Amino acid sequence: MFQKILVPLDGSELAECVLPHVDVLAAGHEDVKITFLYVIQPLDVPMTNASYKKRIEADAKSSAEEYLNKLVAKAKYRDKAVGKVITGKVADTIVDYATRNKIELIVMATHGRSGASRWLYGSIAEKVLDATRVPVWLVKAGACDKATYANGKKLNVLVPLDGSELAESVLKHLKELNRQLVKNKTDVILIRVCEVFAPPISYPPPMSMSWEEYLDYETRRCKQICQDYLDKIQGSLHRYGLKIRSEVPEGNPAEVLIDYANKNPVDLIIMSTHGRTGINKWAFGSIAEKVLRGARCPILLIRAK
């Protein structure tokens, strides 16, 4: 269970789109602790008078503290929440605070007050994802501004897998999330995309068949391998009380995952940041990067060790 949750905020309504999700994560658990973190960047203006700089930073800190105090006061879980204001480089401060305080989950928006079209792909969130070992729950501001699974409604979770142990590292977090959301029913969709590469080096096959026939044969074989794998994973998860089904669509993995998430009632995607390609950070590889850009629902990213 995620007991220590860090929520970076910047004072904007866009960043606050994460709050309904934090409400659900905090509900029903006395031992859950929420920290709202507001990072003030040092005033870096050449030739600035030191006393003036100090006064500006003090005013900024006072405003931030007032903002967080109001936020905590009106939170449903205010007895579990605290506000923290720190001066420093934003991404570095978030990562450092999470490490030093043994944070178990970071919940943050993918769009902040800077006006950038995708905060996720700016330096702040990218550096956080790159540097932290803490799972990061990303909510795209404006596209998913409320938790549709609030008030005990069903949570639909999409779990992309690729057959690797690294991708399967998300499953233990899925179990913990199920424990966390005691008031919700969790429905899990395991998905493995069948991607048939053409042509394989074994072509032509020993038997006589056309290219179309061989491609159909390879597709059916790929889908069967994927389905057998998902059936095995599904069997290992049933004892946790999860309602699980599996999907084996075919096509380009990123395009299929985006299309599935956007056309079906998916509340959350849980995915590893390291997949079968061997890229150190799968989150910034072609598949996950495209999913992060294209999927409208929140994404929980787990950094595979």
Q: Could you give all domains of the chain from N- to C-terminal order, each with its CATH number?
A: 4-139 (3.40.50.620), 155-302 (3.40.50.620)
| HEC readout, 86-141 | EECCHHHHHHHHHHHCCCCEEEEECCCCCCCCCHHHCHHHHHHHHHCCCCEEEECC
Query: Which amino acid is located at 2 in the chain?
Result: F
- The predicted pLDDT at position 180 comes to 86
The encoded tokens of residue 203 equal: 């072509």
Q: Where on the phi/psi map is residue 245: left (φ > 0), alpha (ψ -120 to 50), or beta? A: beta
Query: Which amino acid is located at 77 in the chain?
Result: Y
Mean pLDDT of the region 107-125 = 60
Residues 163-211: tens digit of each pLDDT: 988 889 899 999 988 888 876 778 999 999 998 765 555 555 566 677 7
How far apart, in whole angstroms, are the C-alpha atoms of residue 241 and residue 27? 20
Residue whose structure tokens are 């150190």: 280
- The predicted pLDDT at position 275 comes to 43
The mean pLDDT of the chain is: 83
How far apart, in whole angstroms, are the C-alpha atoms of residue 131 and residue 92? 9
Q: Which of 4, 1, 22, 21 is closest to 182 using CA atoms?
A: 1
- The predicted pLDDT at position 150 comes to 66
Mean pLDDT of the region 220-230 = 94
- The predicted pLDDT at position 151 comes to 66
Cis peptide upstream of residue 204 (ω within 30 degrees of 0): yes
- The predicted pLDDT at position 280 comes to 44
Q: Which of 257, 38, 18, 35 is closest to 140 using CA atoms?
A: 18
**142 contacts 250 by C-beta, under 8 angstroms:** no
What are the distances in angstroms from CA 141 to CA 1, 19, 69, 190, 279? 25, 11, 23, 26, 28
- The predicted pLDDT at position 29 comes to 77
Which strand ranges, in their side-by-side order, compose the sheet holding 4-9? 81-87, 33-40, 4-9, 105-109, 136-139, 299-302, 268-272, 155-160, 186-191, 243-247
How crowded is residue 224: how many other Cβ atoms within 10 Å of its Cβ?
A: 12
- The predicted pLDDT at position 197 comes to 64
140, pLDDT greater than 70: yes
How far, in whole angstroms, is CA 13 from its chain's centroid? Answer: 20
- The predicted pLDDT at position 270 comes to 95
- The predicted pLDDT at position 179 comes to 85
Residues 66-112: tens digit of each pLDDT: 999 999 998 888 788 999 999 999 999 999 999 999 999 999 988 64
Q: Residues near 303 by Cβ (< 8 Å), separated by ≥ 6?
A: 129, 132, 133, 134, 135, 272, 273, 274, 283
Which one of 47-51, 109-113, 149-153, 286-290 scores highest in mean pLDDT? 286-290
8, pLDDT greater than 70: yes
Q: How confident is the model at residue 273 (pLDDT cuts 50, 70, 90)?
A: confident
Mean pLDDT of the region 254-264 = 95
Mean pLDDT of the region 47-64 = 81
pLDDT higher for 137 or 149?
A: 137
* Segment 9-12 long-range contacts (CB within 8 Å, at least 24 positions apart): 9/36, 9/37, 9/38, 9/68, 9/71, 10/38, 10/39, 10/112, 10/113, 11/38, 11/63, 11/64, 11/67, 11/113, 12/112, 12/113
pLDDT higher for 111 or 134?
A: 134
